[in-house]
Amino acid sequence: MISDVLDSLAAEPIMPVIKGEKHDAASWSVHFAKLQYLKTNRDEVDFGKGGPPNDESIGRAREFLDTLMVVQFLPKQVLASVVGGIGIVMRGAGDKKKVYVEFTNKGSVNALFSDGVGKPVVEKIQPENSAFLYLVAKARDYLDA
């Protein structure tokens, strides 16, 4: 399952999770621009009780976006987290299931897996590239199932 996906990363080209969707530069630039906007407008945007994202949460979110871009897994949304930090949303073809990855200002990374029906499952993720690759493979398995 997941180990098979990780093994295939080096062995064959990566296909997008949503078949037929094009992942051109403009598709990706929207997400990177959103991160930049949240960084440069910290004093002008109302981030609520969580406060604006700090450099650490923005940097880790960017590393994760870089990982997603390498494996051609276009996220649905990049947004400020309500607890302070950055959130990235990935959805499957039917948009019923989602994986929400949160990069908090305190340095933690959490992934929430939800099908909109049952109780969501939350996993703590190590903030490093190998863990991000594992998470992407797990998210694909979850969203494709």
Q: Which of 15-19, 25-29, 44-48, 140-144 has the lowest mean pLDDT?
A: 15-19
Q: Is 119 left (phi over 0), alpha (psi -120 to 50) or beta?
A: beta
- What pLDDT shows up at residue 124? 97
Rounded distance between C-alpha atoms, residue 107 and residue 6, angstroms: 25
Q: How far apart are CA 125 and CA 6, in angstroms?
A: 16
Q: What is the pLDDT of residues 13-37, one digit of tens each?
A: 333 334 335 567 888 999 999 999 9
CB of 133 closer than 8 Å to CB of 81? no
Query: pTM to 2 decimals?
Result: 0.82
Task: Report the pLDDT value the prediction gives residue 22, as an integer from 0 to 100.
Answer: 52
Greater confidence (29 vs 7) lies with: 29
Per-residue confidence (pLDDT) for residue 23, from 0 to 100: 64
Tens of pLDDT, residues 53-92: 999 999 999 999 999 999 999 999 999 999 999 999 999 8
User: Residue for token digits 């993720």?
Assistant: 125
* Percent of the chain residues topping a pLDDT of 70: 84
> Is the confidence at residue 4, as pLDDT, over 80?
no
Q: Token digits for 98?
A: 């989602």
**What pLDDT was estimated at residue 48?**
82
Q: Counting beta carbons within 10 angstroms of the beta carbon of residue 119, is it exposed (0 to 12), middle (13 to 18) or buried (19 or more)?
A: exposed
Residues 6+ apart with CB under 8 A from 131: 109, 125
